[in-house]
Chains A and B, each alone.
Chain A
């Protein structure tokens, strides 16, 4: 356990270093930076979805809550002129508040009923964006969501520039992943996993299971909303289609391929699959099919996900030694 934990730390350090120097490594290539930002946003969505998984639930409403954060922040800018610096937090807070209210009935359901109910919630959120045309812009969506500008002591950074947006996204998503990592390692994480393992026993050791479920769901959706705001100001255009069920579905696939047991799972899963998907772009029509093959192959050949690779490698080494 001790050596495993230490080596995990090295992997995280390597990942952070790679992320920090990636723009230099790719020699500031615009396209690669775009891919990197997409990777970062996918990591964020998958990781916050994984937080709900630590309770034992898969929420298909996750992209919907990402949408609430995105629309919140976008409309605050386009209608009221409130810059992203405030809008993203307000958007995320709205997302968290809506999640708090919805999770009260939602978290009374279990297993497959929860999947279906959360699916419905995600769909309803998306439909609402489409239905209230005056307010949300209907299927056409919201345009001209400008990235923010930061003016600090005479130094002005315009985040319309991809490089600066890359670091902005990296900073915020880094904070999101770090807080989920900390939640998971603390007693809160122990409580979530104990509910995951055995809800009955968790109740009978004095855990207010319902309260923790609601809290976890709301926090995860708050973080998804934050991700959504980052997404909106990067794309500068959002529509209900950006937050449909497929977005949740892909986040779920990222988690499954990456691994379900640690925070590293969704992170590595989102990175690997987003990059793989980008490589498949040239295959055009067959892209989805190849993607499916990769997903199935990784599940069949690598049960437990990508996060188990270090352990597998270690085991092979041990066999060679002896």
Chain B
């Protein structure tokens, strides 16, 4: 990879207010191409809110979010995905009554060559496109290690597989960057190891990632850079080593004699 990497995600002075509550207060950060960025912080620090703002789920109060040098703040979620910024969710979010394969095929929507009348009349081009989608979806399932389960019903899968499915669906939109909201929540050790491996392979394919995670060993092991949020503001940013040494971070996590309450 070249040295002069472009910035993928560029958040400038992001503020999110809900009524009187300021969930995020003037946060700025940049994530470079090919980077794995960890976003950590205590509960209620505003991590998921930041994801929701970046992915278009919430309207931002002020500031600006740029992605690959385009302003994406306040676009609709489907437009933001079309710009190449995809996300997964904290709670397992799937099309539960679809088969595993169909979930990923639905995820291929943006690159499916879809047109209303083309699909109504089943033109040759549509049929070709759907065949391509299916093979691409199978490739993605292979990549996340679920190809044996393609025909299964999603609701029957174990938790770890469902998490991987969520990522598979997001990958189907062929994103430049992926936001993972607690990818390892509720996973056992084996599942976590598999997830680490998957995330590294996603990055090796040229997709940058930002992930929220509470499992510190996981975050420290996998991330290039870490941003720490507390009460909606950035309190630290740096490599895992720097973050570990940072006294502010320790205070935020372990509690301290800080007199603000």
- Residues of A contacting B77 in the complex (Cβ-Cβ under 8 angstroms): 203-204
Contact of A188 among B96, B120, B151 (CB under 8 A): B120
Interchain CB contact under 8 A, A197 and B172: no
Known: A179-B120, A183-B120. A204 touches B98 (CB 8 A): no
Task: Flag if A197 contacts B81 (CB, 8 Å).
Answer: no
Residue of A nearest to B81 (CB): A206
A193 touches B98 (CB 8 A): yes
A204-B86 contact, Cβ under 8 Å, with A182-B122, A197-B98: yes
Q: How far is the CA of A202 from the CA of B172 in the complex (A)?
A: 13
* Chain B residue at minimal CB-CB distance from A210: B76
Interface string of A144-169 (1 = CB under 8 A from B): 00000000000000000000000000
| Contact between B169 and A205, CB atoms less than 8 A apart | yes
Q: Do the beta carbons of A215 and B82 come within 8 Å of each other?
A: no
Pick from B93, B120, B151, B169: contact of A182, CB below 8 A.
B120
Binding site for A on B (CB under 8 A): 55, 57, 76-78, 81-82, 86-87, 89, 93-98, 102, 105-107, 109-110, 112, 114, 116, 119-122, 126, 130, 151, 169-170, 172-173
Q: Per DSSP, are chain A's interface residues mostly helix, strand or loop, or mixed?
A: helix
- In the complex, 27 of the A-B residue pairs with CB atoms within 8 angstroms, ordered by the A residue number, are A186-B119, A186-B120, A187-B109, A187-B112, A187-B114, A187-B119, A190-B105, A191-B114, A194-B106, A197-B96, A197-B97, A197-B98, A198-B96, A201-B89, A201-B94, A201-B95, A203-B76, A203-B77, A204-B77, A204-B86, A204-B170, A205-B86, A205-B110, A208-B76, A208-B78, A209-B78, A215-B116
Shortest distance in angstroms between A172's beta carbon and chain B's nearest beta carbon? Answer: 17
CA distance A188 to B114 in the complex (A): 8
Nearest-neighbour CB distance to chain A for B183, whole angstroms, equals: 15
Taking CB atoms, residues of chain A closer than 8 Å to B173 are: 205-206
Of the candidates A190, A201, A203, A207, which one forms a contact with B102 in the assembled complex, judged by CB atoms under 8 Å apart?
A: A190
Q: Size band of the A side of the interface?
A: 20 to 34
Min CB–CB distance A22 → chain B (angstroms)? 29
Name the one of B87, B96, B126 contacting A204, with C-beta atoms under 8 angstroms. Answer: B87
Contacts of A205 in B (CB 8 A): 81, 86, 106-107, 109-110, 169-170, 172-173
A-B contact count (CB 8 A): 83
CB contacts (< 8 Å) of A193 on chain B: these are 95, 98
Is A171 in the interface zone, CB < 8 Å from B?
no
Who on chain B is nearest to A179 by CB?
B120
A200 CB-CB contact with B under 8 Å: yes
The answer to whether A188 and B81 touch across the interface, beta carbons within 8 angstroms, is no
Known: A193-B98, A198-B94, A200-B93. A186 touches B126 (CB 8 A): yes
**Chain A residues, CB < 8 A from B86:** 204-205
Residues of B near A183 (CB, < 8 A) are 119-120
CB-nearest residue of chain B relative to A205? Answer: B107
Do B119 and A188 touch (CB < 8 A)? yes
Cα distance A37–B29 in the bound complex, in angstroms? 67
Residues 207-224 of chain A, each 1 if its beta carbon lies under 8 Å from chain B, else 0: 111000001000000000
Determine the chain A residues whose CB is within 8 A of the CB of B76 once the complex forms.
Answer: 203, 208
- CA separation between A38 and B78, bound complex, in Å? 43
CA gap between A200 and B120 in the complex, in Å:
25
Taking a contact as CB atoms under 8 Å apart, the answer to whether B116 and A207 are in contact is no
Which residues of A lie under 8 Å from residue B87 when comparing CB positions?
Answer: 204
B78 and A203 contact, CB distance less than 8 A: yes
Taking each of B89, B106, B169, which has the highest tally of chain A beta carbons within 10 Å of its own beta carbon?
B106
Contact B120 A194 (CB under 8 A): no
